[in-house]
């Protein structure tokens, strides 16, 4: 039986040796989940909400040990683990416990013509879904998906990243303590091969967060079984600094947006587009602030930047930096790993030709930011929209109207004006990307609806309004002429003006014509 070793990325210390889940056990995992899901879907919405709130209480009781587990396995500072990971999930649970029953309640669909009939949306759970997660926010990201899945009445088979399995098991422990039906959520431990084996069990839907290459593999495998996918993938987010921006505010936004979580964030600012009229003072202040960032071991409580969590990320940084050096790009600061190769120094690169380099086009996923300038607003928009990603963009300006005008031209899933990155953690607002940044949305009502099937129910308003429809057999000449005349009402705009009138005529004709239908 193979094992997975969890290590502290700041020290290399071995934290645990875990048994990898055997692929042959997966059918039983899914069967048990299906049994639990049937039980859970019979819970009243109020009962589901109460169970979710128990999970929130359990997390609160264990918040310090959860924070420690995140810090030791991922390497991020304590503040980030607690404030950027655990607290948003408390809010997310509260939001869905309160709002899921409303979002998932039957919803009426107004019909323009057929006033004698009623239609409504009726939502029902997908069944057993799978959540496959990355290592960079190992608590926030999977728990958000799991809470939405459970709120909607599903069971979950969860595979945390092989880099952060202990955080995954901590989520499982909290769910177990909150007394959900047993086996409703099950965590399996392993790497990509296990993820692929999970898909062969045909989950009702795959909720994947991770890289573009893996997303493509998952989608191709899912296509074989026609399994729907939600893909939250990478980004190369632009921060646009307009000429009226407050420089102190703009540089602080750039520092936090580009370097929080040591830049290992899908929504990190990876490209700064600054107006050429303010570029000099902006760069100067930004470099000063970067020099003040404290990089240190995850055990210390007052560091700002932790280590590089995943070894293979270092190859990406070194490759992009080598190319930038070869192209004679200008390194305003940083550009190398620390001596022990555990930390990447905050790096800011600029210079002519930078827009042709990988550091400007390909996801870096680290504390390495490319800076370029623009002269006109259309040029800024064109630059921000260049490339294959479309996750998030930010704009710094004092003119909110201009900010919104630009925002509506950016090809991304979210635009933040005078803020950066953080809405990935908001429960109420949708999160997701366009282009290579993914498919589907998470969080918000839209995210919850990704976890249900939509059933349309259509019925007569009253039972005596049940009669044979005019478009049923037999097809006759008068019927044809009637429908042809009806089409004229559209030409004259009457359908729009008197939407009730044709409905009454149709209803009346139906009543007198009903005996003639087959």
**Minimal distance in Å, beta carbon 340 to ligand NAD?**
22
The answer for residues whose C-beta is within 8 angstroms of residue 65's C-beta and 6 or more apart is 170
Pair of tokens at residue 124: 């029902």
Which positions from 88 to 127 touch ligand NAD by CB under 6 A, shown as an x/- string?
----------------------------------------
Concatenate the DSSP letters of all residues of 449-468 into one string. HTTEEEEEEEEESSGGG---
217 near ligand NAD, judged by CB under 6 A: yes
Q: Among 29, 82, 97, 141, which residue sits at the site for ligand NAD (rule: CB under 6 A)?
A: 141
The residue sitting closest to ligand NAD, measured at its beta carbon, is 195
Residue 293's nearest CA partner among 301, 303, 283, 282 is: 303
Three-state SS string over 320-358 comes to HHHHHHHCCCEEEECCCECCCCCCECCEEEECCCHHHCH
Residue 267's nearest CA partner among 69, 409, 450, 429 is: 429
Residue among 206 and 357 whose Cβ is closer to ligand NAD: 206
136 near ligand NAD, judged by CB under 6 A: yes
Q: Which stretch binds ligand NAD (CB under 6 A): 55-63, 212-220, 373-381, 398-406?
A: 212-220
- On the question of a cis peptide bond just before residue 474, with omega within 30 degrees of 0, the verdict is yes
Q: Among 73, 85, 362, 363, which residue sits at the site for ligand NAD (rule: CB under 6 A)?
A: 363
196 near ligand NAD, judged by CB under 6 A: yes
**Rounded CA separation 301/222 (Å):** 43
Residue among 221 and 409 whose Cβ is closer to ligand NAD: 221
Q: Which stretch binds ligand NAD (CB under 6 A): 70-78, 83-91, 213-221, 476-484?
A: 213-221
The Cα diameter of the chain in Å comes to 89
Residue among 266 and 286 whose Cβ is closer to ligand NAD: 266
Which positions from 142 to 161 touch ligand NAD by CB under 6 A, shown as an x/- string?
-----------------x-x
329 near ligand NAD, judged by CB under 6 A: no
Residues 382-441 that bind ligand NAD (CB under 6 A): 391, 424, 433, 438
CA-to-CA dists, residue 291 to 69, 261, 294, 449, angstroms = 29, 17, 8, 45
364 near ligand NAD, judged by CB under 6 A: no
Size, binding site for ligand NAD by CB under 6 A: 31
Q: Which stretch binds ligand NAD (CB under 6 A): 107-115, 230-238, 316-324, 492-500?
A: 230-238
**Minimal distance in Å, beta carbon 265 to ligand NAD?**
7
Within a 13 Å sphere around the CA of 315, how many CA atoms are in the beta-carbon half?
3
134 near ligand NAD, judged by CB under 6 A: yes
b/e burial code for range 12-21 (CB count within 10 A of at least 16 → b): eeeeeebebb
Q: Which stretch binds ligand NAD (CB under 6 A): 99-107, 204-212, 377-385, 472-480?
A: 204-212
Answer for the pair 126, 154: CB distance below 8 angstroms, yes or no: yes
Q: Which stretch binds ligand NAD (CB under 6 A): 7-15, 108-116, 192-200, 462-470?
A: 192-200
Within a 13 Å sphere around the CA of 180, how many CA atoms are in the beta-carbon half?
32
Range list of β-strands (E), 351-487: 368-374, 389-390, 392-396, 414-417, 434-435, 438-439, 452-460
162 near ligand NAD, judged by CB under 6 A: yes
75 near ligand NAD, judged by CB under 6 A: no
Residue among 235 and 403 whose Cβ is closer to ligand NAD: 235
446 near ligand NAD, judged by CB under 6 A: no
Category of 325 on φ-ψ map: left (φ > 0), alpha (ψ -120 to 50) or beta: alpha
Residue 318, judged by CB atoms within 10 A of its CB (0-12, 13-18, 19+), counts as middle
**Minimal distance in Å, beta carbon 309 to ligand NAD?**
9
Q: Which residues bind ligand NAD (CB under 6 A)?
A: 132-137, 141, 159, 161-162, 191-192, 195-196, 209-211, 214, 217-218, 232-235, 266, 363, 365, 391, 424, 433, 438
């Amino acid at each position: 039986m193979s094992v997975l070793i969890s290590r502290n990325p700041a020290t290399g210390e071995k934290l645990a040796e875990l048994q990898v889940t055997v692929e042959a056990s997966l059918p039983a995992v899914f069967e048990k989940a299906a049994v639990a899901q049937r039980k859970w879907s019979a819970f009243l919405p109020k009962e589901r909400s109460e169970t979710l709130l128990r999970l929130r209480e359990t997390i609160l009781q264990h918040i310090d040990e959860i924070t420690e587990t995140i810090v030791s396995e991922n390497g991020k500072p304590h503040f980030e683990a607690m404030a950027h990971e655990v607290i948003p999930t408390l809010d997310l649970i509260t939001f869905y416990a309160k709002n899921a029953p409303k979002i998932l309640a039957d919803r009426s669909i107004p019909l323009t013509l057929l006033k004698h009939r009623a239609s409504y949306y009726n939502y029902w759970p997908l069944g057993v879904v799978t959540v496959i997660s990355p290592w960079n926010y190992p608590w926030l990201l999977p728990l958000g998906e799991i809470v939405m899945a459970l709120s909607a009445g599903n069971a979950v088979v969860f595979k945390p990243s092989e880099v952060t399995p202990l955080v995954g098991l901590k989520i499982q422990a909290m769910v177990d303590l909150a007394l959900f039906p047993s086996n409703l959520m099950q965590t399996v431990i392993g790497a990509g091969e296990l993820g692929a084996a999970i898909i062969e069990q045909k989950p009702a839907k795959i909720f994947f967060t991770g890289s573009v290459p893996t997303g493509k593999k998952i989608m191709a495998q899912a296509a074989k079984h026609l399994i729907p996918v939600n893909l939250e993938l990478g980004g190369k987010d632009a921060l646009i600094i307009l000429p009226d921006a407050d420089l102190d505010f703009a540089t602080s936004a750039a520092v936090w947006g580009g370097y929080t979580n040591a830049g290992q964030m899908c929504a990190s600012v990876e490209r700064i587009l600054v107006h050429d009229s303010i570029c000099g003072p902006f760069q100067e202040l930004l470099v000063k602030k970067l020099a003040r960032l404290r990089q240190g071991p995850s055990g210390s409580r007052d560091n700002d930047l932790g280590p590089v969590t995943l070894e293979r990320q270092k190859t990406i940084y070194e490759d992009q930096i080598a190319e930038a050096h070869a192209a004679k790009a200008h390194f305003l600061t940083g550009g190398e790993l620390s001596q022990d190769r555990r930390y990447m120094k905050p790096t800011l690169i600029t210079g002519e030709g930078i827009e042709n380099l990988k550091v400007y086009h390909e996801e870096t996923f680290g504390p390495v930011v490319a800076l370029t300038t623009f002269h006109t607003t259309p040029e800024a928009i064109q630059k921000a929209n260049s490339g294959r990603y479309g996750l998030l963009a930010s704009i710094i300006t004092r003119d909110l109207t201009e900010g919104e005008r630009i925002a509506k031209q950016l090809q991304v899933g979210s635009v933040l004006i005078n803020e950066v990155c953080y809405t990935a953690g908001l429960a109420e607002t949708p999160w997701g990307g366009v282009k290579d940044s993914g498919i589907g949305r998470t969080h918000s009502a839209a995210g919850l609806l990704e976890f249900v099937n939509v059933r349309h129910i259509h019925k007569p308003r009253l039972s005596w309004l049940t009669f044979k429809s005019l478009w049923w057999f037999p097809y006759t000449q008068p019927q044809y002429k009637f429908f042809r005349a009806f089409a004229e009402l559209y030409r004259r705009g009457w359908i729009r003006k008197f939407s009730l009138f044709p409905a009454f005529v149709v209803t009346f004709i139906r009543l007198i014509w009903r005996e003639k239908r087959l």
